[in-house]
A and B are shown apart, each in its own frame.
Chain A
Amino acid sequence: MGTGGVRHLAQVELWGLSLSVFPHRMQRWPVLLFLAWVCFLFFSGIGLFMSGFLLTRIELANSSSCSDPLVPPPWDKQSLPPGSCWVPQRFPKVVLVIIDALRFEFALFNPAKVNPLPYENKLSFLHHLATSQPHHARLYRFVADPPTATMQRIKGLTTGSLPTFIDVGSNFATYAIQEDNLLAQLVQNGRRVVFMGDDTWEGLFPKKFFRSYFFPSFNVKDLHTVDNGILQYLYPTVNSGEWDLLIAHFLGVDHCGHKHGPDHPEMAKKLTQMNEMLRSLVDHLGNDTLLLVAGDHGMTETGDHGGDSQREVNAALFVYSKTPLFGTDPPKEPEAIPQVNLVPTVALLLGVPIPYSNIGEVMAELFSGDSDTVSEALQQLLVYHINAKQVDRFLHSYSLVAQDLPAEQLQRLQELFSSAVEEHIQLLAQMQRAMLMSPELESKLRSLISRFQLYLRQARAVCTQSWARFHPLRMVGGCTLIAASCLLCYVASELATVSDSFYRSCLLYPLLWGLVTAVLRGLACVFTQEELDLLLLLSSAAAASLLGFFWQWWGWHPKRARLLGSQPPLASIGLRQRLRVWLGMAFPMGILLFRCGAMFSDSFVVAEAQVAPFLLASLVMLLIGKLHWDGRLTVPEGHKQPLGFSSYRKESWHLLCLVTVLLVCLRLSGFFHQCREEIPHCRPSVFLPPLASLRNTRAKNLFYLLCVALLAGLVYAVRSWLRHYGNLNSSDPVVLFVRWGFPLVVLCIACYWAVASSAEDSLGKLQELVQVAVIAFPWAVYGLASIGLLLLLCHPMTVFAKDSRESAGSIVTPYQGIPSSKVDLLQVIPQIYKRMQESEKSRLERRSCRATVAAYGLGSVYSAALVIALTLLGFLLMLLHTERLSLAFLLLFLEAFVLLHIHTRARSLAGDTEPFSVPWFAVISWLLAASQFFYSTGHQPVFPAIHWNAAFVGFHLDHSTNLLPAVLVGANTFASHILFAVGCPLLLLWPFVCEMPSSQKKKSKRESQEELQTVDEHMMEMRLRESPEKFSTALLQLGLKYLFVLGAQLLACVCAAVILRRHLMVWKVFAPKFLFESLGFVVSSICLLLGISLVMRVDCAVSAWFSRLQLR
């Protein structure tokens, strides 16, 4: 077919053009409005559920002050020195060096190791200090509370509290900390805080710093800007002495982990740099200064963080001072302490009040100094006492505001606390009277200390456990809304088969109901002076309109029953047909049920990357099995073969080949999977890292060439598909864009890949040019793709019309010769669009020789627009992924193509009589493929697996707004959802596009039959236009089915999250899965609307085109 000059391949000849060919106009707006309304119902359900499910912790506005009566009576006639607050200040100055993602193993030093990994044995200076001055320095295992994202950790490290789950989402936009915190206390007490490093702190603590040097943190590819910036200011600032707390937040190690992973020479360089930094920093420190070196979290083997695996949670903390700190020798194995413990410790060491909401425990050994054991224990007891009182006060005020901490546990804690305090005061009184002997006193002191410790630890455990506060009512409400919307989708899609215009009557009243409820509710809020909760307002409107719909439907039901009752034979046929349809539905629905059931088990959610292709393969095999069982694949009996022997038709073999290709695609797509931490032996796909990280240049070049070649292959395939259907003949701007713009886009992408994957340092002087190119090429692709999409929106017609009404009859002749010229038919396939009505026919015969228009590509005009749009979107999304994932995208296109063909073939083999209704099988397999490729483009529904790098394709520096990076990262994450949702209308259109071959066969069989009928077979997509009412209903039905299947998956996720909300894995598996699924739903439904609107836009253009022809 690809031979040159076959321009006539797909042409539609038109006779008797008149507007009366299209008796009705297509109903565009009601359909879109109906779908948008259904989407709104789902969205409000999701919103309501989310507001009840995602954890919130109430932040108290209280803050501590020096005058708070927390301090116990002094012992030994000691009194507080004047000007001190709570306890005497132990250090006037503290330097806090935060090395982002400093995993505990990074700080360990094992001299016995012969071949250390790149991240091992690099911080030798810490080891040197700890061994040479054991009373001055000590290393701790610093255990972070999940989520281990930097912003949450900063919050935890300054407020001493536990950030909750939903804060993860606000990492893009950091908000100022409202709670009492360490920095606020310092500022309140007139201390100077100087900060340098990660600019996340700027948003968290606006106007708190005496002096600050912020550096952009968002670009994770940039290893050096922040660190070098800090090093430039660190030593001068330390030397100047104009500070009381100096915080330096280094990001290089974290960014190195994100870019290369921990096991990389670059990490060794970075850690060695940190080692040198610490060495010279210690040289600059005075004797009265405490140095704290801390990691805010660790990193996984791939350099990511955010979850709660051991590697992410275990960070390092190193304490050092030039004056002796510890009374005892260090333990053999470094002690593990929770991160929040740093807050009360630093606060009391610096002599400021502990922040109000702190639930950490002081590190008492830092308060011992070098005095004797009794006074050391008394000192420790004092800080414990203060700490416990502060925690008790916090728990008390928190329990007044919120009821989420269990009362009986609080009661128990209260008892523990008051008994310990009482005993402490008694002990002090006894000491005053000197009634205790020293050994007895010491043991009593020790037991009291352990009781305070017990209290503090239990209080922390209670808080950790129960800062999971749900709104059960909202959760149930959200569930119900989503379930009802699913039901609505199903009912409406069933109604669509019965009536073509139900949606207009079924839309108005529900909308009115919803509006009225919303207005009433708003008014009620105004009158009762309550605060207006927009979410509740919207969800009540949604609920009301749902009720309205079902009311309407209920009222409509008896009417229909009566209608059927008046024609008894019709009813019985309807029943039998319905039973058959229902049986046909059972298989796909069963698969959908399995898929939904899999959401309720954490193991299946973890293994979903394998579950989706397994179910898809099973669904397709079931389809084949069913067709075979029904005898559709075999040659009908009675044709030149003995009874009892059957053989396959030719089409069946095609179908089997397609299924094989599909299975191979499914298997191949498994090679692009990302790993989750729950599967320990899993190795992430080798295709995921960018080409730049490949060290073998030959492999790099080979992969690069392969990717570019396949990209060019995709363009070639799309162009030849369009040429085959005659959509590449006109000189419309869109067609020109496809001809010239597509290769240009591919060229730009190839150049971008080449520049981005070249080694960073190898280009020397060209560095600046490369910097420009890395930005310019993505922008060129963005620009070209948006031009293409705009052109597509403005002129979606890819039809070349050859108006031969003046030059009579040249194209009519081959038509008249159809029965005789079969060769012509095979090569030059004219599709003839013709009016069937008798009146038209007679008119036509009268003037057939004059009124002829040959339209190339009219038969596939809808699909062509969608294919062009999908290709453009595919380019954009490939650009956002790493180079080698383009292979996965090509698999995606291939698999979608094969699925469409299987759907078409299966339909024609099954002898489907309803061309306007897409079977459930097709919709469910389409969606299974969508979720399969979510995984096969290297994603997983967990936060560490998000490809943050996508935010920097085409952007070098920090983003000014949060919207753009969110869009880029979102498009990257939901790439397959976007493509499959936009391409969804193809499920309806494809059988019409592909109708040629089968009808040709029919034609050859009944050549003798009436000619007009065979002519009618070639209308392709124009058949849809012929019955616009049915077309719009079919689109609506397809959309509703799609939303139903999506909604059923979402409903399963939501129910799993509700039922298993106290499950061990809820924050690790179910909650992230729910978030990804609901975001995926939102993206899919919006893209579905866009895809359907594009089809309608094309329809508009086709109408305009016909009327223009008419006028000529």
Chain B
Amino acid sequence: MREAELRRLLAANLLCAVSIVLTALVPALFLDGFSVLGTHLTWLCVCSVCVSVLNVTLCLILKPNPSSKRSSLSNKISRFLKCCIYFFMSCILFHAIIVLYGAPLIESVTETFLFAVLLSTFTTLQCLCLLGPNIQAWIRVFSRNGAMSIWENSLQITTMCSILGGWFGAFPIPLDWDRPWQVWPISCSLGATFGYMAGLIIAPLWIHWNRKQLTYKSR
């Protein structure tokens, strides 16, 4: 059972990672002059949309969270609306935090906001898919021994890796190398993306290695 679930996790994660790689390559066939660095904002949109669509589909297919009870349509709609609001709020929150960390306040608002959207896709969206609009569950997952399934473990790892990647992505900005990828927010969004992809790959491996130590509380 556990092995099978782990294999499903690995497949889902690899799919996500491949889809991100594809977002960098495929649009160049349709759009003239598309490149990750040159038309960064377009890529940010494409990447966020692709990752979110894929995540939602995977969530619906794999149903990693079986405990969600059958509920009425109106309940589902309200849940969905709540998710949307949460996602939007997390975008705003990320934007505010990025600005507080030193991003320009007035100039390049679009860039900053799209970066915030990307970060939200990598972090908040995953939480919404897996845990639903339930802040208390989120708080529980992100603490020591808080994970209750390998999906939640994977969520922990990918979220931390994305944020850490975005953080490290800020490091090359002051350097005087005059490279195109040092422009705000390219290095940060690339850092977050690489972090996310690394997290996707690390998570199954880490779970595999630590499968003896990992004991999940029953619900």
Q: Which residues of A contact B (CB under 8 A)?
A: 601-604, 606-607, 610-611, 613-614, 617-618, 628-631, 634, 643-648, 663-664, 666-667, 670
Pair A610/B144 contact, Cβ less than 8 Å: no
| B36 adjacent to chain A (CB < 8 Å) | no
| B184 adjacent to chain A (CB < 8 Å) | no
| B56 adjacent to chain A (CB < 8 Å) | no
Known: A606-B174, A611-B174, A630-B144. A667 touches B99 (CB 8 A): yes
| B75 adjacent to chain A (CB < 8 Å) | no
Known: A618-B167, A628-B142. A603 touches B102 (CB 8 A): no
Nearest 4 Cβ contacts at the A-B interface: A607-B174, A645-B136, A663-B100, A646-B140
| B106 adjacent to chain A (CB < 8 Å) | no
Please indicate the chain A residues that have their CB under 8 angstroms from the CB of B143 in the complex: 628-631, 634, 646
Complex: A613 Cα to B101 Cα, angstroms: 8
Residue among B136, B174, B217 with the highest chain A CB neighbour number at 10 A: B174
| B176 adjacent to chain A (CB < 8 Å) | yes
Closest B residue to A602 using CB positions = B176
Please indicate the chain A residues that have their CB under 8 angstroms from the CB of B140 in the complex: 634, 644-646
Pair B136/A647 contact, Cβ less than 8 Å: yes
| B170 adjacent to chain A (CB < 8 Å) | yes
Pair B174/A664 contact, Cβ less than 8 Å: no
Please indicate the chain A residues that have their CB under 8 angstroms from the CB of B219 in the complex: 643-644
| B31 adjacent to chain A (CB < 8 Å) | no
| B6 adjacent to chain A (CB < 8 Å) | no
Nearest chain A CB to B219's CB is how many angstroms away? 7
Complex: A610 Cα to B100 Cα, angstroms: 12
Pair B174/A604 contact, Cβ less than 8 Å: yes
Residue among A618, A644, A663 with the highest chain B CB neighbour number at 10 A: A644
Complex: A770 Cα to B60 Cα, angstroms: 79
Complex: A1089 Cα to B99 Cα, angstroms: 38
Complex: A610 Cα to B167 Cα, angstroms: 14
Pair B102/A629 contact, Cβ less than 8 Å: no
Known: A629-B143, A629-B144, A630-B143. A614 touches B101 (CB 8 A): yes
Complex: A611 Cα to B142 Cα, angstroms: 28
| B1 adjacent to chain A (CB < 8 Å) | no
Q: Which residues of B contact A (CB under 8 A)?
A: 97, 99-102, 134, 136-137, 139-140, 142-144, 146, 148, 167, 170, 174-176, 217, 219
Known: A606-B174, A631-B144, A644-B219. A664 touches B136 (CB 8 A): no
Could you list 23 A-B pairs, sorted by A, with CB under 8 Å?
A601-B175, A603-B176, A604-B174, A611-B174, A614-B170, A617-B100, A628-B142, A628-B143, A629-B144, A630-B143, A631-B144, A631-B146, A634-B139, A634-B143, A643-B217, A643-B219, A644-B217, A663-B97, A666-B100, A667-B99, A667-B100, A667-B102, A670-B102
Pair A646/B136 contact, Cβ less than 8 Å: yes
Complex: A308 Cα to B101 Cα, angstroms: 32
Please indicate the chain B residues that have their CB under 8 angstroms from the CB of A630 in the complex: 143-144
Complex: A648 Cα to B101 Cα, angstroms: 24
Pair B142/A617 contact, Cβ less than 8 Å: no
Partner of A648, one of B99, B134, B139, B167: B139
Please indicate the chain B residues that have their CB under 8 angstroms from the CB of A666 in the complex: 100
Complex: A960 Cα to B140 Cα, angstroms: 69
Nearest chain B CB to A699's CB is how many angstroms away? 20
Pair B100/A664 contact, Cβ less than 8 Å: yes
Pair B174/A645 contact, Cβ less than 8 Å: no
Closest A residue to B173 using CB positions = A607
Closest B residue to A645 using CB positions = B136
Nearest chain A CB to B171's CB is how many angstroms away? 9
Pair A645/B137 contact, Cβ less than 8 Å: yes
Known: A628-B142, A629-B143. A603 touches B100 (CB 8 A): no
Please indicate the chain B residues that have their CB under 8 angstroms from the CB of A648 in the complex: 139
Closest A residue to B145 using CB positions = A631
**Further 16 A-B residue pairs, CB within 8 A, beyond A643-B217, A645-B137, A645-B140:** A602-B176, A604-B174, A607-B174, A614-B170, A628-B139, A629-B143, A629-B144, A630-B143, A631-B144, A644-B219, A645-B134, A646-B143, A646-B146, A647-B139, A648-B139, A667-B102
Please indicate the chain B residues that have their CB under 8 angstroms from the CB of A617 in the complex: 100-101
Complex: A604 Cα to B176 Cα, angstroms: 9
Please indicate the chain B residues that have their CB under 8 angstroms from the CB of A618 in the complex: 167
Nearest chain B CB to A602's CB is how many angstroms away? 8
Known: A603-B174, A666-B100, A670-B102. A644 touches B137 (CB 8 A): yes
Complex: A670 Cα to B99 Cα, angstroms: 12
Pair A603/B175 contact, Cβ less than 8 Å: yes
Please indicate the chain B residues that have their CB under 8 angstroms from the CB of A645 in the complex: 134, 136-137, 140
Please indicate the chain A residues that have their CB under 8 angstroms from the CB of B176 in the complex: 602-603
Closest B residue to A644 using CB positions = B140
Complex: A614 Cα to B169 Cα, angstroms: 13
Please indicate the chain B residues that have their CB under 8 angstroms from the CB of A603 in the complex: 174-176
Nearest chain A CB to B67's CB is how many angstroms away? 10
Please indicate the chain A residues that have their CB under 8 angstroms from the CB of B97 in the complex: 663
Please indicate the chain B residues that have their CB under 8 angstroms from the CB of A634 in the complex: 139-140, 143
Please indicate the chain A residues that have their CB under 8 angstroms from the CB of B167 in the complex: 618
Nearest chain A CB to B40's CB is how many angstroms away? 20
Closest A residue to B170 using CB positions = A614
Complex: A666 Cα to B102 Cα, angstroms: 9
Nearest chain A CB to B106's CB is how many angstroms away? 12
Please indicate the chain A residues that have their CB under 8 angstroms from the CB of B137 in the complex: 644-645
Nearest chain A CB to B174's CB is how many angstroms away? 4
Complex: A611 Cα to B172 Cα, angstroms: 11
Known: A603-B175, A607-B174, A634-B139. A644 touches B100 (CB 8 A): no
Complex: A603 Cα to B179 Cα, angstroms: 14
Nearest chain B CB to A197's CB is how many angstroms away? 41
Nearest chain B CB to A645's CB is how many angstroms away? 4
Please indicate the chain B residues that have their CB under 8 angstroms from the CB of A663 in the complex: 97, 100-101
Complex: A508 Cα to B186 Cα, angstroms: 58
Complex: A1013 Cα to B155 Cα, angstroms: 45
Closest A residue to B172 using CB positions = A603
Closest A residue to B105 using CB positions = A667
Please indicate the chain B residues that have their CB under 8 angstroms from the CB of A610 in the complex: 102, 174
Nearest chain B CB to A318's CB is how many angstroms away? 37
Partner of B102, one of A602, A613, A644, A664: A613
Nearest chain A CB to B145's CB is how many angstroms away? 8
Nearest chain B CB to A583's CB is how many angstroms away? 12
Please indicate the chain B residues that have their CB under 8 angstroms from the CB of A604 in the complex: 174-175
Please indicate the chain B residues that have their CB under 8 angstroms from the CB of A628 in the complex: 139, 142-143
Nearest chain A CB to B115's CB is how many angstroms away? 16
Known: A664-B100, A667-B100. A646 touches B174 (CB 8 A): no
Complex: A664 Cα to B148 Cα, angstroms: 36
Please indicate the chain B residues that have their CB under 8 angstroms from the CB of A607 in the complex: 174
Complex: A634 Cα to B217 Cα, angstroms: 18
Nearest chain A CB to B10's CB is how many angstroms away? 25
Closest B residue to A634 using CB positions = B139
Closest B residue to A678 using CB positions = B176
Closest A residue to B97 using CB positions = A663
Nearest chain B CB to A520's CB is how many angstroms away? 50
Please indicate the chain B residues that have their CB under 8 angstroms from the CB of A667 in the complex: 99-100, 102
Closest A residue to B160 using CB positions = A625
Please indicate the chain A residues that have their CB under 8 angstroms from the CB of B142 in the complex: 628-629
Complex: A634 Cα to B167 Cα, angstroms: 26
Closest B residue to A622 using CB positions = B167
Closest B residue to A648 using CB positions = B139
Please indicate the chain A residues that have their CB under 8 angstroms from the CB of B170 in the complex: 614
Nearest chain B CB to A56's CB is how many angstroms away? 30
Closest A residue to B156 using CB positions = A629
Closest B residue to A665 using CB positions = B100
Complex: A644 Cα to B175 Cα, angstroms: 45
Complex: A899 Cα to B77 Cα, angstroms: 44
Complex: A607 Cα to B170 Cα, angstroms: 12
Residue among B99, B100, B144, B175 with the highest chain A CB neighbour number at 10 A: B100
Please indicate the chain B residues that have their CB under 8 angstroms from the CB of A631 in the complex: 143-144, 146
Complex: A664 Cα to B219 Cα, angstroms: 41
Closest A residue to B142 using CB positions = A628
Nearest chain A CB to B148's CB is how many angstroms away? 7
